[in-house]
Amino acid sequence: MKLYESLRQEQASYAELGVDFEEKAFYDILKQMTVKYDFAYPEDKLLFLARSVKKIVDDKARYTDWSERVDIKAELKADLIVLLAENDYPPIARDEVYKEIFAQAENYKKHRR
């Protein structure tokens, strides 16, 4: 019963934020990085970034073999870095943050099918 209630709460959490399930997953990744690397970032910008990351990942993942193609993965990585840099995320450049977000986005899409 506790597991069921936990799942219901999680489903309600993305609806409360005004995002869909996948956007919430990317929001969680971005939010986790703010905690792990101890920096503040505005909530509204996190939501914007989550939506934008999802669009970029969806665009690259439309190719059946996207996860096997080095060129598409490189484009994904470059597009994510540009998006994050344009939005000052993280406020102090940290390669670890970019690497973790890229890895999470790639893994999420691979295992989401």
**Closest C-alpha among 60, 31, 57 to residue 45:** 31
Average pLDDT on 47-73 reads 89
pLDDT per residue as tens digits for the range 75-113: 999 999 999 999 999 988 778 888 888 888 888 766 665
Q: How confident is the model at residue 12 (pLDDT cuts 50, 70, 90)?
A: low
